[in-house]
A and B are shown apart, each in its own frame.
Chain A
Amino acid sequence: MSALLSVRGLTKRFGGLTAVDGLDFDLAQGEILGLIGPNGAGKTTTFNLIAGAMPPTSGTIALEGEEIQGSKPHAVAARGILRTFQHNMPFAGMSLLENVLVGAHTNFAAFGSGLGGLVLGTAKARATEMASRLQALDLIEFVGLKDLLGTPVTALSFGQGRLLEIARALCGGPKIMLFDEPAAGLTPAEAHRLSDMIRQISNGEVPVPGFDRGIAVLLIEHDMRFLLPLAQRVVVLNFGRKIADGAPDRIRDDPAVIEAYLGDPAATRGAA
């Protein structure tokens, strides 16, 4: 399986501190890769580098063989890497449907001609709008928010807000989805449903036209009980360096990992 995303020698320094240090890993289509590590290990920085929130000091990030490191967030999203935020970031002044439709932004026609088409109300502009709305409604149904379509997004619970973020990112038709601690703040039942949902997303089981191709998933997660059964592979970071890369079972038994991160054996037992 050739890699969809290839990270090579990725390094980020903040002054004297090296937050990410020569990181290498691959992500394949339809794979669920977990990125773990103790606090300060460089997980969030890695995430931000991939999402374009900051440029790396050195190293490359290649999507389908094309280097994208240093691209701006909107350009990364336009290439098919979409994310959810750890702290929900809905567009508070917009309806649920409109929120999700913002995810489809990059699906609309090239900017200049698109705007002209809008003003003139061309058939193409209308057809794109219609298709996007139908897809957004399907995705809202998939994440289970259909009954809340008329509810202001500010009235959604934390868990519902998380589902909104997922529908919004899916609406962009991503090749890769980045989840930043998706289970944080969720009830056990919500986390369980989320876990199933992420599996469906990666397996191409989202019951919406155009989603039969599996989406690669990269997730940062602190909650081992959530991550280990879900991820097919785990990359462990410590002090910005990769200390392990492999199946969850092997990671759990890796002495370096146990020492660095799973120091508390109770955490591993809970996951088993």
Chain B
Amino acid sequence: MPGPAMPRALSYLVAIALLAALPFFLASYQADVYRKMLLWVTLALGYSFLFGIAGQVAFSHFAFYGIGAYGVVILWYKLGIPLPFAIVGAIAICAALSFVVAVAGTRLEGFYLALATLAFAQLLIVVLTEGGEFTGAAAGIQRYALPPVMGFRVAGPYYTIVIVLLLVGTYAILARLERSWFGRACRAVRDNSEAAAAMGVDVARIKVTAFTLTSTLAGAAGVVYAFVDNGVAPTSFDIDKVFTLLFMIIIGGSGRLAGAVVGAVLLYLVPFVLEPYIGHHHPLVYGLIMLGAILFQREGLIGVFDGARARLRRSFSGAQAARQSA
């Protein structure tokens, strides 16, 4: 049941305030880790909607993140288009490209959609690496800087506010869609597309819309990412990144936005926490956690939380019933 509008808006404001305030108390390295974690969470949210709710096994999510990042830098830094137009332009490019990929790709099911989107992601890396002067080739485009906004330099903890707004905005949009007829139609298509069509759901349209929407959100995140390090390079958008994203949402709980948040935070921090002990062998830990999740906890970590809450509620109502009968 959707709660009253005011408390929800209020809780979003509190979340923004807390998330944005934190980096002011962190050392600069920690703050940088924190910023990138927030971006991973943002990406995981959109991917969770696409993979878990819309049920599309697509591997192009990180590619659209890259297109958004490269798009804004090329439009603004290389072509000299004013930044606001470059931002809108980069997001529009992601929307248009993802629409084309969606129309072609959503005719494919499961395995074939996965292959096609994987090929698309690989193609992007090739284009970025072989793009010569235009994309900066293997070194990418470096050492530009966000121009001051009304005389104010938006950097460091202040830029974190931009990332937080992106994250909370992404969450708000996806949460709203998820609870609505659109989210239901997405899940209906995922669970049984024949029955969904018989209930009036235009299956192709829902698939294309879900893909375009989440890919465009990834593109918007890419635009924001472009000014985190003030540099973009092909290696940042390598094909293996999307699998990390996949691990995040499965471990957190596929198809649940809260699960995406939990999974992304956990997996992003694992390498940092474990580095003193195991060096760079954290993929091994990823693999073990992933295996554990698939074998023992299909609903992911959020499923553990749900289960505990349900048990608590049952024992509470049981105690109430006992009291009433006594």
Contact = CB atoms under 8 A, between A and B. Distances in A.
Interface in A201-242: none
Interface string A113-148: 011001101000110010011000000000000000
Interface stretch (A4-12, A76-84, A243-251, A259-267): A76-84
Contacts of B196: 91, 102
Contacts of A91: 187-188, 191-192, 195-196
Interface stretch (B178-186, B235-243, B270-278): B178-186
Contacts of B109: none
A104 interface: yes
Interface in B196-214: 196-203, 205, 209
Interface residues of B, number: 29
Given A94-B184, A94-B187, A102 B201 contact: yes
A115 B182 contact: yes
Contacts of A86: none
A149 interface: no
A85 B198 contact: yes
* Secondary structure class of chain B's binding surface, majority of residues: helix
B177 interface: yes
Contacts of B281: none
B78 interface: no
A81 to B, nearest CB: 9
Contacts, number: 98
B313 to A, nearest CB: 10
B130 interface: no
B205 A125 contact: no
Interface string B153-186: 0000000000000000000010011001110110
Interface string B116-154: 000000000000000000000000000000000000000
B2 interface: yes
Given A91-B187, A94-B187, A51 B177 contact: no
Among B2, B180, B198, the one with the most A-chain Cβ atoms within 10 Å of its Cβ is B198
Contact of A102 (B173, B194, B199, B205): B199
A93 B187 contact: yes
Contacts of B36: none
B188 A102 contact: yes
Contact of B205 (A82, A111, A172): A111
Contacts of B209: 115
Given A89-B194, A126-B2, A103 B177 contact: no
Interface in A60-115: 72-75, 77-78, 82-83, 85, 89-94, 98, 101-106, 108, 111, 114-115
B253 interface: no
A121 B201 contact: no
13 contacts: A82-B198, A83-B198, A85-B195, A93-B191, A104-B181, A105-B185, A105-B199, A105-B200, A106-B200, A115-B182, A118-B177, A121-B5, A172-B199
In the complex, the 3 A-B pairs of residues with the closest C-beta atoms, listed nearest first: A77-B200, A106-B200, A89-B195
Interface of A: 51, 72-75, 77-78, 82-83, 85, 89-94, 98, 101-106, 108, 111, 114-115, 118-119, 121, 125-126, 129, 132-133, 168-169, 172
